[in-house]
Chain A
Amino acid sequence: MHSLSIAEIIDKLRKKEFSSQEITQFFLKRIQQNDQKYNSFISLCEEQALTQARAADANLAAQTAPSALCGVPIAHKDIFCTEGLRTTCGSRMLQNFNPPYNATVVENFLSAGAVTLGKTNMDEFAMGSSNETSYFGAVKNPWDLRCVPGGSSGGSAAAVAARLVPGATATDTGGSIRQPAALCGITGIKPTYGRVSRWGMIAFASSLDQAGVMARDARDAALLLSTMASHDHRDSTSMDRPREDYSRQLDKPISELRIGIPKEYFDQGLNAGTEKAVQEAISSLTKLGAKTHAISLPHTHLAVPAYYVIAPAECSTNLSRFDGVRYGHRCENPKDLLDLYKRSRGEGFGAEVKRRILVGTYALSSGYYDAYYRKAQQVRRLIKQDFVDAFKEVDMIVGPTCPSPAFEFGAKGDDPVAMYLEDIYTIAANLAGLPAMSIPCGLVDNKPVGLQLIGNYFAEGSLLNAAHQFQCHTDFHTQTPKDLT
Chain B
Amino acid sequence: MEPSEIEKLADLARLEITADTVNETAKSINEVLALVDQLKSADTDNVQPMSHPLDVTQVLRPDQVTESCQREKLLESAPATERGLFLVPKVIE
Residues of A within 8 A of B (CB): 97-98, 100, 192-194, 207, 233, 236-237, 239-240, 299, 301-302, 304-306, 308-309, 316, 320, 323-328, 330, 334-343, 345-347, 349, 351, 354-355, 357-359, 361-363, 365, 371-372, 374-382, 384, 414-417, 420, 431-434, 457
Contact = CB atoms under 8 A, between A and B. Distances in A.
A302 B37 CA distance: 10
B39 A376 contact: yes
A312 B53 CA distance: 17
Given A207-B52, A240-B59, A334-B89, A379 B32 contact: no
Contacts of A320: 14
Given A305-B35, A345-B16, 19 more contacts: A194-B53, A299-B42, A301-B38, A302-B42, A323-B14, A326-B77, A337-B91, A337-B92, A341-B14, A345-B14, A354-B25, A357-B15, A358-B6, A358-B10, A359-B33, A372-B39, A375-B40, A417-B31, A434-B53
A380 B56 CA distance: 16
Given A100-B74, A349-B15, A381-B48, A358 B35 contact: no
Given A340-B89, A358-B29, A375 B54 contact: no
A294 B18 CA distance: 51
A189 to B, nearest CB: 16
Contacts of A379: 39, 42, 44, 47
A485 B34 CA distance: 46
Nearest to B49: A377
Given A100-B74, A354-B17, A382-B42, A377 B31 contact: no
A420 B14 contact: no
Contacts of A337: 88-92
A308 B35 contact: yes
Interface string B53-93: 11010110100000000100110111110000010111110
A342 to B, nearest CB: 4
6 contacts: A236-B59, A305-B35, A337-B89, A358-B9, A361-B9, A378-B48
Contact of A308 (B15, B36, B77): B36
A378 B33 contact: no
Given A100-B77, A354-B25, A378-B42, A237 B12 contact: no
B47 A433 contact: no
A305 B53 contact: no
Interface in B1-20: 1, 6, 9-18
A266 B64 CA distance: 54
B54 A433 contact: yes
Contacts of B34: 417
A325 B35 contact: no
A100 B86 CA distance: 17
A382 B44 contact: yes
A382 B43 CA distance: 9
B9 A336 contact: no
Contacts of B42: 299, 302, 375, 378-379, 382
A305 to B, nearest CB: 4
Nearest to B18: A346
B53 A432 contact: yes
Given A299-B42, A326-B77, A355-B25, A457 B54 contact: yes
A308 B1 CA distance: 17
Given A325-B88, A358-B25, A376 B36 contact: yes
A305 B14 CA distance: 25
Given A194-B54, A378-B44, A362 B9 contact: yes
Given A194-B53, A358-B13, A416 B31 contact: yes
List the 8 shortest-distance A-B pairs measured between CB atoms, nearest first: A433-B53, A346-B16, A377-B49, A327-B77, A378-B44, A341-B14, A330-B79, A381-B50
Contacts of B86: 325-326
Quick one: which of A192, A345, A349 has the most chain B CB within 10 A?
A345
Nearest to A349: B15
Given A342-B16, A359-B32, A382-B47, A375 B39 contact: yes
B89 A193 contact: no
A417 B89 contact: no
A327 B49 contact: no
Contact of B15 (A302, A334, A354): A354
Given A339-B89, A358-B13, A376-B39, A233 B59 contact: yes
